[in-house]
Structure 1
Amino acid sequence: MQAHSCMAKKYKKKDVVRVMDAQIKNVIINVLDCVLWNTVEKIYRVNKDLVRLSDKSQSEVDPNEF
């Protein structure tokens, strides 16, 4: 790899690949983290809605609703 004016040190090709690989892994972990967080939020919202629906008292439930 040729030295660039921005680079103070010469890097071997393997070192650069390893750095890029680490960056890709970090991005993948961040994406998975976001996906997991969104899933947890959706589950929480659904659970909250179910709890709200189940809070109806027995007298409010009409047998004809089913």
Structure 2
Amino acid sequence: MHLQFRPKDSSTYTTVVAVKSSSTGTPRATVKAVKDGYWRWNFTGTTTTGPAKATGDYVDVRP
């Protein structure tokens, strides 16, 4: 599973960190947002589960 970021003036997501899920299937990552943009989870899939991309959530970084 990948945590991805897209700046507000871009259409391209970039992977910030790749994480493994916990034993309960919950992904967890801690990153610091330094500029406005969209964050999403991207699951590339497995042999038994298809891929999935979350809708991006907008984060407005304030000074």
Alignment TM-score, normalising by the size of structure 2: 0.19
Larger radius of gyration: 1
Alignment TM-score, normalising by the size of structure 1: 0.19
More strand by share: 2
